[in-house]
Homo-oligomer: A and B are copies of this chain.
Amino acid sequence: MLPLEVRSILEEMRAERIRGASWLAVRGAEAYITLAEILKGGELENALREMKVEVPTVNRTMASLYNLSRFIPITGDAETVRARAEEFIRLAGEAKREIGNIGSELIDENEVVITHSFSSAILEVLRMAKKKGKSFRVILTESAPGYEGLALAGELESLGVPFEVITDAQIGISAKNATLALVGADNITRDGAVLNKAGTYPLALACHDNDIPFYVAAESFKLHPKLRANEVEIVERPYTRQGFRIRNRLFDVTPWRYIRGIITEFGILVPPKEI
Whether A202 and B198, one on each chain, are in contact in the complex, defined by CB atoms closer than 8 angstroms, is: no
Segment at the interface with B among A73-81, A92-100, A142-150, A183-191: A142-150
Chain B neighbourhood of A209, CB < 8 A: 205
Q: Does A165 touch B at the CB level, under 8 Å?
A: yes
Contact B247 A172 (CB under 8 A): no
Contact indicator B246/A142 (Cβ below 8 Å): yes
Interface residues of A in 137-196 (CB under 8 A from B): 141-145, 147, 150, 153, 164-173
Given contacts A150-B244, A202-B205, A244-B150, whether A197 and B169 have CB atoms under 8 Å apart is yes
Residues from chain B with Cβ under 8 Å of A164 in the complex: 247
Residues A167 and B205 in contact, CB atoms below 8 Å apart: no
- Count identical subunits in the complex: 2
> How would you classify the secondary structure of chain A's contact residues: helix, strand, loop or mixed?
mixed
Interface contact A205-B150, CB-CB below 8 Å = no
Interfacial chain B residues near A142, Cβ < 8 Å: 241, 244, 246
A253 interfacial by beta-carbon distance below 8 Å: yes
Q: Which A residues form the contact surface with B (CB < 8 A)?
A: 116, 141-145, 147, 150, 153, 164-173, 197-203, 205-206, 209, 234, 241-242, 244-249, 251-253
A-B contact pairs, 28 of them (CB 8 A): A142-B241, A142-B246, A143-B169, A144-B144, A144-B167, A144-B169, A147-B242, A150-B242, A150-B244, A166-B248, A166-B249, A167-B246, A167-B248, A168-B168, A168-B169, A168-B199, A169-B198, A170-B247, A170-B248, A170-B249, A171-B202, A172-B202, A173-B201, A173-B234, A202-B202, A202-B203, A202-B206, A205-B206
